[in-house]
Amino acid sequence: MALLTAMLLAWPGLAPVHATGTGAEKEPLVDPASCVAAIAAGTDDRIIADCGVLIDNDKTSRADRIKALTARAGAFRRQDQADRAIADCTALLGLDPTLVDIFNARGELYWKKGDRPKAVADFSAALKLDPNHPAARDNYRRLALELERLGAMMALAGKPSFNCATARRPVEKAICANPELADLDREISAANVKLVRAAATGRSSAMRDLQRQQDEFIATRDASFGKPGYDLGKAMRERLDYLRSIGPQ
């Protein structure tokens, strides 16, 4: 939220404003001094309280409201109150839809909440306003990579390490018919391949031992499946836990 603080460096109009028209004094605008003091003190609870009073007052000028909302949004974010920070960012964009930093900040909040579509939309809006905005560009790039990885994971979900179309053994057919077992099989295979590749850079005997253990696990699995007392899911989870325990931490 550091980008938001740049909007608070200058705050004109600390004293109440009195305008005169036809000789009659108009009602003064609200004094933002307490909100400004809270921001200067850097105390989030004071910012939320004092700037909140300014935000809620109908007599607050548009410029002061923007500064107060920006400050309070930052305070809410630091206190992990994402929904309230998002609400303030949305109010800010209602006042000024050209606030690039606010689009980026709200996108980060949505991303943290796991709402990736809204995060992408906000980062895109920020880049539309400023294609060279460094934070928005970096956030958009990293989120795009995350979505690509998630898409790949979703494409593999429920698929084992082998081709179910050519599965012949009863245990393989059982794995193909159960998405949880299919995921376990794929994760076991991937963990074993990773360990074997790591061992290949060291002693060749270590690599052979790892592959022998995997071959023995599969042979035991195939021979034991369907026999009384054999729990395929348990055996696969234990194998995966073991591979993870000996892998790089």
Q: Which residues of the chain have pLDDT under 70?
A: 1-29, 150-156, 200-204, 248-249
Domains and CATH numbers, the chain: 2-133 (1.25.40.10), 164-246 (no CATH)
**For residues 180-193, b (16+ Cβ closer than 10 Å) or e, as one string?**
ebbbbbbbbbebbe
What pLDDT is stored for residue 17 in this prediction?
38
What pLDDT is stored for residue 239 in this prediction?
93
Q: What is the DSSP letter of 22?
A: S
What pLDDT is stored for residue 200 in this prediction?
67
What pLDDT is stored for residue 156 in this prediction?
67
- Give the tens place of pLDDT for each residue, 175-187: 999 999 998 998 8
What pLDDT is stored for residue 85 in this prediction?
96
What pLDDT is stored for residue 23 in this prediction?
43
What pLDDT is stored for residue 207 in this prediction?
75
Closest residue by Cα to residue 4 from 89, 80, 81, 63: 89
What pLDDT is stored for residue 208 in this prediction?
81
Instruction: Write out the DSSP string of 29-71.
Output: PPP-HHHHHHHHHT-HHHIIIIIHHHHH-TTS-HHHHHHHHHH
How many whole angstroms separate alpha carbon 224 and alpha carbon 227? Answer: 6
- Give the tens place of pLDDT for each residue, 80-89: 999 999 999 9
Q: What is the pTM of this model?
A: 0.56
Q: In this structure, are residues 9 and 71 in contact, taking their beta carbons and an 8 Å threshold? A: no
